[in-house]
Amino acid sequence: MRLVTWNINSLRLRMDLLRRLVQAEQPDVVCLQEIKVQDSEFPMEDVQALGFPHVLRHGMKGYNGVAILSKLPFNARDPQDWCKKADSRHGVVVLGGDVELHNFYIPAGGDIPDPEKNVKFAHKLQFLDEMKDWFAGQNKTRNAIMVGDLNVAPLEHDVWSHKQLLKIVSHTPIEVEKLTAMQLAGQWQDPIRHFTPEPTKLYSWWSYRSPDWQKNDRGRRLDHVWTTPPMTSRVKSAKILREMRSWTQPSDHVAVVVDID
DNA sequence: ATGGTGGTCCTACCA
């Protein structure tokens, strides 16, 4: 099974890029974040014409929103209502009867890394705490996959400069600590880093604001694929599609692709 | 210390 995760930053604007990605990679399952479309406006016919008869979407007007597109049938589960906001940041399905697949869009958290001064940062920290509590209560021997834009680059070599980003939201110690606590609570493993260990730099996002992104390469790895132990050994390959950042009118994120037996 | 770009939807807000 080939699984792709991509923060598409508007599904309707980038339908052609999704088509290009699907033609190039032939995925069986595509998890999207920031689709920015409410369910009543979701381009269902276009998506199904790409070869995905099974579609889960949780959208809202203008912001956020996640979708799971699949060639395989699945059973949709009710997503959690994180932080008591119905803001379309989580979708979950069960594939093949026993593989739980979570698709997350964790809050970005604003610019100021202080929960007292910035409610968006407080929201992000609370979201991570609630995820930790939720996954701590889950069966660790289950087959599960978590993908998405987690909006945290946890490792030193997940950012272009560890030292220069310590006070930048997405790489501050408090976020890394909470993300890692959630990862441990759910026994989530990071197969992307099994295939490409540190100190090799790995990024999945480059800001729109750095014009010379290829030359300066000031990226961050915000997009992740995590697996529970029984799934990790089944992950056969992993790659990050850096070249997508050079496509015409790109998302600021590129896709992450894994092949799972 | 600052401003840089791009998304939605129509006025700012979010990334």
How far apart, in Å, are the Cα atoms of A181 and each of A145, A173, A209, A239? 17, 12, 31, 25
pLDDT at A200: 98
Nucleotide nearest to A170 (CA to C1'): B15
Strand B closer than 7 Å to the CB of A208? yes
Residue A165, pLDDT score: 97
Written as one string, the DSSP assignment of A142-161 is SEEEEEEE-----SGGGBS-
Neighbours of A211 (CB within 10 A): 9
Is there contact between A10 and strand B, defined as CB under 7 Å from any strand atom? yes
Average the pLDDT over A241-246 and give the result: 97
β pairing state of A256-260 and A90-95: unpaired
What is the spatial distance, in angstroms and rounded to an integer, between the CA atom of A85 and the C1' atom of B1?
Answer: 35
Q: Which of residues 131-160 of A touch strand B (CB under 7 A)?
A: 151
Q: Residue A249 CA to nucleotide B14 C1', Å? A: 19
pLDDT score of A34: 98
Q: What is the mean pLDDT of residues A244-256?
A: 97
Nearest 5°: the CA angle A216, A14, A243 is 35
pLDDT for position A60:
96
Rounded-to-integer distance, Cα A43 and Cα A243, Å: 26
Nearest nt by C1' to A61 Cα:
B8
Percent of chain A with pLDDT strictly greater than 70: 100
What digits encode the pLDDT tens for the residues A161-174?
999 999 999 999 99
| Contacts of A104 by beta carbon, 8 Å cutoff, 6+ apart | A33, A66, A89, A90, A131, A146, A147, A148, A149, A150
| A250, closest nucleotide (Cα–C1') | B6
pLDDT in tens, A187-240: 999 999 999 999 999 999 999 998 889 999 999 999 999 999 999 999 999 999
Q: How far apart are CA A100 and CA A81, in angstroms?
A: 18
* Whole-number Å distance between alpha carbons of A153 and A128: 14
Beta-strand relationship, A54-58 and A66-70: antiparallel
Contact A223, A7 (CB under 8 A): yes
Q: What is the pLDDT of residue A210?
A: 87
Query: How much is the pLDDT for A211?
Result: 80
Q: What is the pLDDT of residue A79?
A: 86
* Contact predicate A29/A95, CB 8 Å: yes
Does the CB of A207 sit below 7 A from strand B?
A: yes
Nucleotide nearest to A208 (CA to C1'): B5
CATH class (in words) of the domain with range A2-260? alpha beta
Summarised one tens digit per residue, pLDDT across range A131-143 is 999 999 998 789 9
Residue A131 sits at the vertex; the CA angle it makes with A83 and A92, to the nearest 5 degrees, is 95
CA–C1' gap, A36 and B10, in angstroms: 17
- Dihedral sign, CA of A78, A82, A84, A86? negative
- HSE (side-chain half, CA atoms, 13 Å) at A63: 8
Q: Would you list the domain boundaries of chain A?
A: 2-260
Tell me the CA distances in angstroms from A109 to A36, A52, A87, A127, one per residue in order.
18, 32, 14, 10
Q: Which helix (H) or strand (E) holds A185?
A: helix A173-185
Q: What is the mean pLDDT of residues A10-34?
A: 98
Strand B close to A108 by CB, under 7 A: yes
Evaluate if the CB of A249 falls below 7 Å from strand B: yes
Question: What digits encode the pLDDT tens for the residues A79-133?
Answer: 888 999 989 999 999 999 899 999 999 999 999 999 999 999 999 999 999 999 9
Band the pLDDT of A23: cuts 50, 70, 90.
very high
User: What is the overall mean pLDDT for chain A?
Assistant: 97
The pLDDT value given to residue A45: 97
A85 Cβ nearer than 7 Å to chain B strand: no
Length A38 CA → B12 C1' (Å): 20
**Protein-contacted positions of strand B (CB under 7 Å):** 3-9, 14-15
